A and B are shown apart, each in its own frame.
Chain A
Amino acid sequence: AQSVSQHNHHVILSEAASLELGCNYSYGGTVNLFWYVQYPGQHLQLLLKYFSGDPLVKGIKGFEAEFIKSKFSFNLRKPSVQWSDTAEYFCAVKDTDKLIFGTGTRLQVFP
């Protein structure tokens, strides 16, 4: 079965800093990959997803992610974070019709 690793458990940044959150999945073939965000006290919302095609995926709120098949990675990036990006971020991979989630990365952005 698939598994997902998010190596950054807690990231602290100042506003305007660049962000990259790591995500690695366990094995290849055709993969569907997702990044979800959970703002404090809220439910998970989809940031972006990759099914096929262009490996550089644009999402909402200025986020993007790059699928690198050779590295089994799907890292999330944002060139300039804002205080409002403070949240928990989850990477997920589809396994049959289920999603397997990573343990999440907590991002804190200070003004």
Chain B
Amino acid sequence: DAEITQSPRHKITETGRQVTLACHQTWNHNNMFWYRQDLGHGLRLIHYSYGVQDTNKGEVSDGYSVSRSNTEDLPLTLESAASSQTSVYFCASAGQANEQFFGPGTRLTVL
């Protein structure tokens, strides 16, 4: 069965460190998305990609970057982690029908 996976599931890091969160999907979807989920804010879009070599900024992109070198993966990098980036991060992918399928999430704590 096709699926979308994220790793790690939990991560604790220190302020200023670079962190990369992995997202891998086997749906063969062109569209992939990264969200953060915070209490009172719902899901906010960080970055998204419509295909290989395509990346776009979302609503809350400052301090984050993504790269898309193949269809399956969209890693999210925090260049210099800040405490404000403590959150739960969800990756999603979508096909033609725009129905998004979500990964299990990564809980990131920045100390």
Contact = CB atoms under 8 A, between A and B. Distances in A.
Classify the secondary structure of B's interface with A: strand
B42 A104 contact: yes
B50 A90 contact: no
Interface size class of A (residues with CB under 8 A): 20 to 34
Interface centre among A42, A49, A98 (most CB of B within 10 A): A98
A13 B44 CA distance: 28
A10 to B, nearest CB: 11
B103 A97 contact: no
A103 B41 contact: yes
A43 B41 contact: no
Interface in B62-101: 90, 92, 94, 97-101
Contact of A43 (B42, B50, B104): B104
A99 B42 contact: no
Classify the secondary structure of A's interface with B: strand
B98 to A, nearest CB: 5
B31 A97 contact: yes
B99 A42 contact: no
A43 B40 contact: no
- Nearest 8 pairs of A and B residues by beta carbon: A103-B42, A101-B43, A44-B102, A43-B102, A104-B42, A101-B42, A43-B104, A94-B98
Given A42-B104, A102-B42, A34 B33 contact: no
Contacts of A94: 98
Interface string B17-43: 000000000000001010100001111
